[in-house]
Amino acid sequence: MDAVVRKSANPIWLILLLLVLGSNLLLYRTEFGGDLLSGASESVVLGSLIDLAIVAPLLFLAWRRSITLKGFLLGAAAGLIAARFLIPAEWLGSYAPITYLGFAAEGAFILLELVLVVSLFVYLPKILRTTREDSKPLLFAFPAAVDSHIRSHPIVHAFCSEMLMFHYAFGSWKKKLPLTEDTFTLHRKTGHMAMQIMIIHGIIIETIGIHWWLHEKSLVLSIILLFLNVYSVIYLIADMQAVRLSPAVFGRDRLYLSLGMAKRMEIRYSDIAELVTDGEELSGKLSKDTAEFISRDFDAASPDILIKLKQPVAAILFMGIRKPYRAVAVKVDEKEAFFRRLKTELDCD
């Protein structure tokens, strides 16, 4: 139920997409385009519909390197809707009914999304029961429980992420850090919590000052900014609690790593190729395909251990987006004990 981050393809596809969209915009929204349309509007409009409903979606999907039937159909529907607003009604003529197919398709898609969201709340009691029965940390157990009861879909995962955020922000204050021989904290010997509190204070002060000033200029903008700032504060509070209550956990066959709401990862011991503790290699710049589980600090921090993987393993980022990594950099409070435990698990695997 997680969206996947894919590497973008050659930028030539993006350039071609912008050329297609730009040429159609120039054609229908400038005097120069009006002169070109005179006497040949019907054939040109048909070409524009093909551009927006077929060519543009294919170029976008090629740029994203994720050409799927679902993506193409949604892109085609969006293209028809765009054509309805881009092409003047007097030129659209007999092709106008075609554009309504876009509205119908998007409406059906939104209805499906709503059905999935409703199903999340219908199955919520079962999901919570499955979560409580699971031995994994909550950040891992709840999404897994949702997966077991509801069909995988990005909108479901977005709601799942939001529910976790509100749980940690408002419903986790009485919980204590679960410290056992299997858990290792990542934040206690850093300034992570202090930095989070400083950021929250900064947002609150900014909200008080800018909101009243902006309220006189634009009521709508002030309300939007207020909403974003309130959401940011709730997210940061939830992130603090998630960091505090979600240490690294050694499971039976895998290591559970998480850094607040922003990143979590399950690493099977059988997927670990090498453990690097050499100070020179750890102090250098980490590659882009290395997941970092390093708490914020006032000074730049280097990892204590670099876990190299046999094959890419996906980390779950904000809103359930998945991104594959080939290595994992970790900084823990008890470095030696963590390394010994990880080495033991690898020797037993």
Task: Name residue, tokens 């005179």.
Answer: 38
Confidence of residue 2 (pLDDT cuts 50, 70, 90): very low
Which residue stretches of 65-191 are H helix?
A: 69-86, 89-92, 96-122, 124-133, 138-149, 154-170
pLDDT at position 299 is 78
pLDDT at position 249 is 92
- Non-local CB neighbours of 193 within 8 Å, separated by 6+ positions: 187, 240, 243, 244
**Ranges of each domain in the chain:** 12-117, 249-348
Cα atoms in the 13 Å half-sphere on the side-chain side of 65: 9
What tokens were used for 235?
């997210």
What tokens were used for 218?
């634009």
- The distance of Cα 196 from the centroid of its chain, to the nearest Å, equals 21
CB atoms within 10 A of CB 107: 11
pLDDT at position 8 is 47
What percentage of the chain carries pLDDT values higher than 70?
A: 94
Contact yes or no for 210/228 (Cβ under 8 A): no
pLDDT in tens, 284-333: 788 888 999 988 877 777 888 999 999 999 998 887 788 899 999 999 98
> Which carries the bigger pLDDT value, residue 272 or residue 40?
272
- The distance of Cα 125 from the centroid of its chain, to the nearest Å, equals 26
What tokens were used for 304?
């204590």
Mean pLDDT of 238-246: 92
> Which carries the bigger pLDDT value, residue 9 or residue 317?
317
Which range has highest mean pLDDT (30-34, 158-162, 337-341)? 337-341
pLDDT at position 201 is 92
Q: Identify which of 329, 342, 318, 324 has the alpha carbon closest to the alpha carbon of residue 293.
A: 329
Mean pLDDT in the chain? 85
| Spatial separation of the C-alpha atoms in residues 22 and 40, rounded to whole Å | 20
Confidence of residue 214 (pLDDT cuts 50, 70, 90): confident
| Spatial separation of the C-alpha atoms in residues 227 and 273, rounded to whole Å | 46
Helical packing angle, 41-50 and 12-29, nearest 10°: 150
HEC string of 37-91?
HCCCHHHHHHHHHHHHHHHHHHHHHHHHCCCCHHHHHHHHHHHHHHHHHHCCHHH
Mean pLDDT of 252-276: 91
pLDDT at position 87 is 83
Secondary structure letter of residue 318 according to DSSP: G
pLDDT at position 286 is 83
Contact yes or no for 2/157 (Cβ under 8 A): yes
Helical packing angle, 12-29 and 56-64, nearest 10°: 150
pLDDT in tens, 144-196: 898 888 877 778 878 888 899 999 999 888 888 878 888 999 988 888 899 99
pLDDT at position 29 is 77
Confidence of residue 134 (pLDDT cuts 50, 70, 90): confident
CB atoms within 10 A of CB 64: 16
Distance separating the N- and C-terminal Cα atoms of the chain: 29
pLDDT reading at 5 higher than 50: no
pLDDT at position 236 is 93
